[in-house]
Amino acid sequence: MEKSKSFPEYSCSYTEFGFSERSNSYNFNGPNQKGNGFSASSDPELKRKKRIKAYNVLTVEGKLKTSVRNSFKWIKNKFSDIRYGV
- What is the mean predicted confidence (pLDDT) over 37-59? 86
pLDDT tens digits, 6-26: 555 555 555 555 555 555 555
pLDDT tens digits, 57-83: 999 999 999 999 999 999 999 999 999
Rounded Cα–Cα distance for residues 47 and 32 (Å): 17
pLDDT higher than 80, residue 35: no
* pTM to 2 decimal places: 0.44
DSSP character string of 15-83: GGGTGGGS-SS--TT------SS--GGG-HHHHHHHHHHHHHHHHHHHHHHHHHHHHHHHHHHHHHHHH
- What are the extents of the domains in the chain? 61-86
Which is nearest to 77 in space by CA: 62, 65, 69? 69
